[in-house]
């Protein structure tokens, strides 16, 4: 009886030590997809549109409680327009999902893989529509949340529809090359 109790205590001690060392040394934590959010704003000469898009999956890598890496996958089929309703909402969502923009039938996911973190500056490889570019963003990590506002130049990923950088005489039909994302990633 005493031997079993001692073995149980020793095993429990080793399990606690392993968990403590793992938390201190670093590990991977999955993001909580249902609690994490991405909102977007795309601007044009005559106004702007906004919406949401959802994470499919992701994980953060921590070392001594600090962010050191991670991988995030976005479900491009989840593009949602929040500033319109009815027919116009459906038309814009369909256009954003088309080959003119994100081509979600062929490219259903976008990814960001963190390659380095220095302070609040997060660098990594962003893949949208099959194109990968090195990007750098300022993000804040507090408790179990990574947050920040990022700006992405869509033309770097081959998305040129309505861009004054590539087409002349668009006038009030021009769409800004950059779009803005507000991230709130819970892990």
How do the domains of the chain map onto residue ranges? 1-25, 31-186
pLDDT tens digits for range 38-75: 999 999 999 999 999 999 999 999 998 899 999 999 99
For tokens 């909580």, name the residue: 32
pLDDT tens digits for range 62-112: 998 899 999 999 999 999 999 999 999 999 999 999 999 999 999 999 999
State how beta strands 121-128 and 140-142 pair: unpaired
Checking if the pLDDT of 24 tops 70, the result is no
Range 31-186: architecture per CATH: Beta Barrel (2.40)
- Contact status, residue 49 vs residue 41, Cβ threshold 8 Å: yes
Q: What is the pTM of this model?
A: 0.85
Count of helices and strands (H, E) across the chain: 2, 10
């Amino acid at each position: 009886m005493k031997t079993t109790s001692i073995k149980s205590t020793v095993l429990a001690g080793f399990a606690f030590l392993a968990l403590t060392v793992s938390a201190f040394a670093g590990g991977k934590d999955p993001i909580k997809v249902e609690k994490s959010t991405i909102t977007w704003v795309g601007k044009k000469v005559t106004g702007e549109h906004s919406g949401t898009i959802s994470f499919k999956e992701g994980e953060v890598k921590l070392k001594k409680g600090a962010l050191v890496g991670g991988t995030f996958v976005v479900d491009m089929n989840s593009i949602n327009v929040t500033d319109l309703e009815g027919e116009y909402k459906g038309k814009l969502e369909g256009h954003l999902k088309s080959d003119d923009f994100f081509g979600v039938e062929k490219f259903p996911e976008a990814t960001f893989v963190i390659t380095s973190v220095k302070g609040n500056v997060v660098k990594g490889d962003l893949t949208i529509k099959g194109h990968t570019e090195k990007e750098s963003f300022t993000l804040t990590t507090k408790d179990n949340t990574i947050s920040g506002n990022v700006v992405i130049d869509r033309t770097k990923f081959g998305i040129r529809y309505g861009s004054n950088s590539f087409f002349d005489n668009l006038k009030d039909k021009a769409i800004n090359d950059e779009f803005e994302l507000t991230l709130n990633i819970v892990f």
